Amino acid sequence: MLRLTDLYPVLSLFLRVQRRGLLLGAVLAAATMLAGLALLGLSGWFVTATALAGLSAGSALAFDVFAPSAGIRFFAIARTAGRYGERLVTHDATLKILATLREKLFRGWSAPGAARDLVKRPARLLFRLTADIDALDSLYLRVLVPGLVAFCAALTAGIALAFLSVPLGLAVGLVLLVGGNAILFLAAGKALRPAGRRLIALEALRARTIDMVSGRTDLVMTGRLAAARAAAVHADERLGKAEDRLNRIETGTLAALGMLGACLTGGVLLAVAALAEAGAITAPVAAFGVLLTLAAVEPFAGLRRGALELGRSLLAARRIAPRLSADVEVPLSQQPAAGEALRFDGVTAAHAGAPHPVFRELSLAVERGECLAVIGASGSGKTTLLGLAAGEIPVRQGTVASLPSTLMTQRTELFEDTLRDNLKLADPDANDGRLWQALADAGLKNDIAALGGLDIVLGEGGLGLSGGQSRRLALARLFLRDTPLWLLDEPTDGLDGPTACDVLDRLAARAAEKTVVIATHLRREAAIADRIVHIDRGRIIEISRRGEAAFEMALQGLRPD
């Protein structure tokens, strides 16, 4: 069940990031509304007063048109400038908040536990970082600010009309506050469930469509394409039903607010007419009261969309709130003994959901400054061992003691962004000099300079770079990470011989004071190691050191370059 308390973590983040901008935007929005009320009310008074003054030559000559005209011009300019400033400030603050929110969520989902959960359903991660965050931009722009403006409009109208008649002012203020808010709260309550269903259906539709398109070959081969298409169509139908329900609620809300405004304006018209007839007020003042009431109803109509999207914002806030409040820092592992960079003591570990452990009572020590190659058949646990060392895989039993490390995975993850920003994932504070030095150390400086420099924009997945260039870019990111332990998972797999040898030479040159653990099945990668650890089915079956016969035999058993 969705609750307003789900918004607390998000609202607290909003205030921490852009408190001044949010408050300034709200003040400007309220000031703009007040200028609009004054403009319409004064204009009604002025038109009526000039009409009455023109009934006789004497009153026409005595009537002062300059002061009201100046007031109208002032309020018109103030309303225009205020609207511009309000849009500028509120949208700037909102965009900065969303950018901070995306970065915080990205870091939160980079934590091992969250990453393991989301990697099973990548479409969900994409949806959280896009649609869920976009849903929160309506929280401030369509709910909080319009709500404040509507409240101020009702309060201002009530106070202004109270100068004409206290009962009239109280009645108008209460009708606006109680009636307008009742309609909006009723609409928000009715829209909570369909808004949530719409968000869930949209996520399902995107995920199923992506799965169907990306896996179309496998689906055709297995005869499951029709079922996948039917699942996507079903999600689309659910989305359509939710949107139809929301549209009906919005139409009903707009009609109810229109009826409220018409009835209230009509009631005020009758009241001020009676007051004018009794001589309590003049006709221009009566016109002022009617138009002021008409203008005060308008902000409530602008709030209807926010009321309908409140359910969407609540669901999005509830889904991302755990990552906002969670400790996103990866817990530090135990420090190894002096002279060691990495130690496993009786480690038993398994992948999430797996019935059997990958390792049972694994024990291994890696000395500082050593280069260790881990070899074994596919599925023997090489990558899992690196994941344990990096803290990406939980330990069921035993301990892992490690120096701070950097993991270079088999797959090079590049984003559709500038090359500079792809490099800065490794070190956000790195200046251009450090970036160029890392590219030079990776053998990529000349290629990038020829392509246009650090500001070139890569396509999806690093489109625009060759496989070798992408791997060198990953190597440059590794060089930007100043950690004493490097964990490399088949760093040259898929590269041609000359490129692979150059990459390994550059690795060796930069790893002189580093500890390196390489998971590999290639002879050229294991050949740079000081020791080779052979594992099979999660157990160490042999450890050999350079210069020993077993070391050479282990190399000969690996895949040649």
Report domain extents, the chain: 4-325, 372-556
How distant, in Å, are the alpha carbons of 326, 376, 495, 524, 551 from that of 500?
A: 41, 20, 6, 8, 22
Six token digits for residue 465: 């770079």
What does the pLDDT look like over 347-371, one tens digit per residue? Answer: 988 876 677 888 888 899 999 999 9
The H-or-E segment that residue 218 falls in is helix 216-222
Given the DSSP bridges, would you call strands 340-349 and 395-402 parallel, antiparallel or unpaired? antiparallel
Determine the pLDDT at residue 260: 93
Determine the pLDDT at residue 1: 55
Q: Whole-prediction pTM value? A: 0.68
Six token digits for residue 10: 């998000």
Superfamily for the 372-556 domain: P-loop containing nucleotide triphosphate hydrolases (3.40.50.300)
- What region does 71 belong to: left with phi over 0, alpha with psi -120 to 50, or beta? alpha
What does the pLDDT look like over 442-482, one tens digit per residue? Answer: 888 888 999 888 989 888 777 788 878 888 898 899 889 88
Is residue 409 within 8 A of residue 489, CB to CB? The reply is yes
DSSP state of 527: T
Distance of alpha carbon 157 from alpha carbon 36, whole angstroms: 12
Determine the pLDDT at residue 200: 85
- Count the neighbouring beta carbons within 10 Å of the beta carbon of residue 468: 20
- Mean pLDDT of all residues in 12-36: 90
Superfamily for the 4-325 domain: ABC transporter type 1, transmembrane domain (1.20.1560.10)
Determine the pLDDT at residue 122: 64
DSSP state of 517: E
What does the pLDDT look like over 296-336, one tens digit per residue? Answer: 998 988 888 888 888 778 878 887 777 776 554 444 567 88
The one-letter amino acid at 115: A
Six token digits for residue 305: 């969309």
- Mean pLDDT of all residues in 10-32: 89
Give which of 317, 308, 390, 394 is closest to 350, Cα–Cα: 394
Q: What angle do CA 96, 97, 101 make, to 5 degrees?
A: 120
Band (113; pLDDT cuts 50, 70, 90): low
Six token digits for residue 203: 């996520």
Q: What angle do CA 164, 170, 174 make, to 5 degrees?
A: 140
233 vs 353: which has the higher pLDDT: 233
Percent of the chain exceeding pLDDT 70 equals: 92
Counted residue by residue, the chain has a size of: 561
Is residue 39 within 8 A of residue 83, CB to CB? The reply is no
Distance of alpha carbon 132 from alpha carbon 14, whole angstroms: 15
Count CA atoms within 13 Å of residue 475 on its CB side. Answer: 29
